[in-house]
Homo-oligomer: A and B are copies of this chain.
Amino acid sequence: MADLHIKSLLRAGPGIDLSKIDTSATPGFEGDKDAGAELLAAGADEVAGLQEQLFAASRFGDTRSVLLVLQAMDTAGKGGIVRHVVGSVDPQGVSIAAFKRPTPEEEAHDFLWRIRKRLPAPGLIGVFDRSHYEAVLIHRVRGLSTLEEVEGRYPVILDFEKELVAAGTNVIKVMLHISRDEQKARLAERLERPDKHWKYSPGDVDERAYWDAYMDAYRVAIERTSTDDAPWYVVPADRKWYARLAVHTLLLDALRSFDLEWPKAEFDVEVEKKRLAAT
């Protein structure tokens, strides 16, 4: 199990300077890749077990859930986080929503409309692969909305997340932070490998021209929406194994904080044993 110290080291908020964060660092962890992978594997059963307890509790009225929000520049490894961090959990206990370009129907609604429909049910670990933050990230950078519209969304997001937390959802917001050079190397690898071509789109190169504007949009989003209730964590992600370990640690911490117990039987166990024996 990774040192939960990671949590405080990665916490981000006002005053964040993304350009000063070493994206290849491994804050709070001294070990190497193998040690990191081992630690992740060692904690996988605990995450799965706690999720089962959370699910069991939900069957008896407990409304709690976890929502892991993943935001990142392309190639930063969101998919790998889902596979390696959440992959050990019972698939029935996970609810994954990938938010791509909105459909015309989605665009006709408020930006939270499609988000609300995909919130995790009680007992589940929800994962948002991109999220409502797209409405203040790509929309800000590429002018998909007016600046005035974008500005109006931060307070709406704050209210929305406050509501989620009040309803029992532990909200973990993660920015996977890679360097511009690391992205270049990863895109180059996709071009080298025919089995990765399907993941590549020429638009990925165009987007690189907006790197600094994206970093600024992330800064603004983090400064304005990192609250005690729903904090942002900036996870250095040039080393995939570290990013996975860090997000695993955040998730494990959230589940532990629930202080879960198995629900008590609402029936008389001895009576039921006799009834069953008679069948």
Task: Give Cα A149 to B82, complex, Å.
Answer: 43
Which of B202, B262, B265 contacts A267, CB < 8 Å?
A: B202
Nearest B residue (CB) for A199: B56
Task: Give Cα A263 to B188, complex, Å.
Answer: 18
Given contacts A87-B90, A90-B83, A98-B92, contact A262 B205 (CB under 8 A): no
Q: Give the number of times this chain occurs in the complex, counting copies.
A: 2
Stretch at the interface among A10-18, A189-197, A233-241, A247-255: A189-197
Q: Is A208 an interface residue (CB 8 A)?
A: yes
Given contacts A91-B94, A272-B202, contact A262 B59 (CB under 8 A): no
Q: Which residues of B contact A265 (CB under 8 A)?
A: 194, 197-198, 200
Is the beta-carbon distance between A208 and B279 smaller than 8 angstroms?
yes
The DSSP consensus for interface residues of chain A is helix
Given contacts A197-B262, A262-B195, A263-B197, contact A79 B92 (CB under 8 A): yes
Task: Give Cα A273 to B197, complex, Å.
Answer: 12
Interface on A for B, CB 8 Å cutoff?
A: 56, 59-60, 79, 82-83, 86-87, 90-92, 94, 96, 98, 127, 129, 184, 187-188, 191, 194-195, 197-202, 205, 208-209, 262-265, 267, 269, 272-273, 275-277, 279
A-B contact pairs, 17 of them (CB 8 A): A56-B198, A60-B198, A79-B92, A82-B91, A83-B92, A86-B91, A91-B91, A184-B276, A191-B269, A191-B273, A195-B262, A197-B262, A197-B269, A200-B267, A200-B272, A202-B275, A205-B276
| Known interface pairs A86-B91, A91-B91, A191-B273; 7 further A-B residue pairs with C-beta atoms within 8 A, sorted by A's residue number | A82-B92, A87-B90, A87-B91, A198-B263, A198-B265, A200-B267, A205-B279
